[in-house]
Amino acid sequence: MHDMLKITREKGGKIKKTHLMYKANLSHKQMKSYLDELIKNKLFESKSSGNRHLICITKKGQNFSVKYTQIKEFERTFGL
Amino acid sequence: MKIVFTPDWFLNNDILIGVVSFMVLFLFFLFAVKSYTLNKKKSILYLGIGFLLIALGELSTILTKLILYYDSGIIQEIGQAVITSQIVNTVDIFYYVGFFFNRFLTLLGLYLIYMIPSSRKRSIDFFFKTYLIFIVALLSHNLYYFYHLTALILLVLIINNYYKVYRKEKIINTKILIAAFSLLAISQAIFLFSKLNYLYVTAQSIQLVSYIILFALIIKILKNGKKTKQDGHNA
C-alpha cells in the first residue's frame, strides 16, 4: 500500500487509476481492495474532472508516506 | 584520587560535548520509538532502548560534572567546618554514583545495540552479561581503563555487525554509521591514555565529531523521506 502512496507522490500527488495499477504492479482486485482501504483511512481521495477519474493523495497520506519512507530508511541503515 | 581527567581550561567544554551527545542519542531514541509505533518491530525498540541507555549515561555524567565543577560555592556558603566535611563526603558518594551510572548505562546500551542482530538468542545469557557489565562499571571507579577497554571492545563488535550490513546492502547511510562508530571507538582507545591531558581533550573532540556525524545522518534520513524521485533518489 505504501508503494501506491509513494507512486502517487512521485506523480505530483494525483494519478489515473489505471496508471497506478500498472505502476504498482497490482491486479484489478488487489487495486480495488487497497484503494478502498486507503480511501477509508483518508490517505487517498477519489476526484473526477470531466471523464477523468483521478486518485489524489491527501495531506494525511503525504505525511504518512514521508514518515514511512524515513522509518524504512532508518531501519535499512541499521540492517533491521 | 583524581575523579576526572579534564584539564582546567576544558572544564565547561566537556559538559557542552556531553549535552550535544545526549541530544543526538535522545534523537535516535525518539526516531526508534516512532518507528516502533508504526511497525512494532522489537529489534527497533531494542535499538531505541540502547540509545536511550547511553543517553541517560551521558546525562548522568553531565549532572555529576555540573555539581563537581560548581559545588565549591555551596560548601563556602555553609561556612562551618563540620558541616562542610559532611557535605564533602555526601558529594563524594554522589560523584561515585553519578559516574557509576554513566559507565553502567553506557556499557549496557552498547551491549544492547551489539546484541540486536542475534536477539533471538537473548535469554538468561543477557542477565549474566548485564551482571558482568555491572561488575566492570563498579571496578572502573579505581581502574578507569577497564571501562574504556570494555566500551572499545563492544564498539568494535558493533562496527563488525554494521560492516556485515554494509557488505550485504551497500547503503551509504550504513557507511556513515560505521564512520561515526569507528570515531567513537577511536575516542575510547584514546581515553585509555586520558591521564595525559591533551589526549583526554583529543578523545573528547573525536567523540564530538562522531556525534555530529550521527546527527547529520538523522538529518539526511529525514530529508530523504521528504524527497520524491522527481527531486532526487530516495535510497
Instruction: Decide if B232 is inside a domain.
Output: no
Distance CA B143, CA B29 (A): 30
Q: Contact at 8 Å (CB) between B41 and B35?
A: yes
Among the ranges given (B24-33, B92-101, B137-146), the one the predictor scored with the smallest mean pLDDT: B137-146
Interface of A with B in 15-74 (CB under 8 A): 66-71, 73-74
Q: Collect all residues of chain A within an 8 Å Cβ-Cβ radius of residue B177.
A: 77-78
At A77 the pLDDT is: 92
Q: Collect all residues of chain B within an 8 Å Cβ-Cβ radius of residue A1.
A: none
At B85 the pLDDT is: 53
> Pick from B31, B168, B169: which is nearest to A74 by CB?
B31
Mean pLDDT of the A50-60 span: 82
Q: Which residues contact B39 (CB under 8 A, 6 or more apart)?
A: A71, A75
Task: Please give the model's pTM, rounded to 2 decimal places.
Answer: 0.81
Instruction: Decide if B3 is inside a domain.
Output: no
Q: How much is the mean pLDDT over chain B?
A: 82
At B234 the pLDDT is: 40
Q: For chain A, which residues make up each domain, given as ranges?
A: 2-77
At B230 the pLDDT is: 47
Mean pLDDT of the B165-183 span: 93
Q: Collect all residues of chain B within an 8 Å Cβ-Cβ radius of residue A9.
A: 228
φ and ψ of A45, to 5 deg? -140, 150
ipTM of the complex: 0.77
At A62 the pLDDT is: 86
Task: Give the structural domain span for B187.
Answer: 8-226
3-class state of residue A47 by DSSP: strand
- Tally of domains within chain B: 1
Q: Which of B73, B68, B65 is nearest to B16 (CA)?
A: B65
Distance CA B26, CA B34 (A): 12
Percent of chain B at pLDDT above 70? 82
pLDDT in tens, B87-102: 556 667 777 888 888 8
Q: Contact at 8 Å (CB) between A34 and A1?
A: yes
**What is the chain B residue with the closest CA to A71?**
B35
- Positive or negative, the Cα torsion across B120, B121, B123, B129? negative
Q: Contact at 8 Å (CB) between B65 and B4?
A: yes
pLDDT at B22 over 60: yes
B84–chain A nearest CA distance, Å: 50
Q: Contact at 8 Å (CB) between B107 and B133?
A: yes
pLDDT in tens, A1-13: 778 888 888 878 8
Q: Contact at 8 Å (CB) between B157 and B185?
A: no
Instruction: Decide if B231 is inside a domain.
Output: no
Q: Which of A48, A41, B29 is nearest to B37 (CA)?
A: B29
At B226 the pLDDT is: 76
Pick B185 or A52 by higher pLDDT. B185
Say if B116 is an interface residue toward chain A (CB within 8 Å). Answer: yes
Instruction: Decide if B1 is inside a domain.
Output: no
Distance CA B151, CA B158 (A): 10
pLDDT at B26 over 90: yes
> Pick from A9, A77, A79: which is nearest to B221 by CB?
A77
pLDDT in tens, B62-80: 988 888 777 655 445 545 5
Length of chain A counted residue by residue: 80
**Residue recorded with cell 571507538:** B185
Distance CA A2, CA A63 (A): 12
Residue type, A54: L
Decide yes or no: CATH 1.10.10.10 for domain A2-77: yes
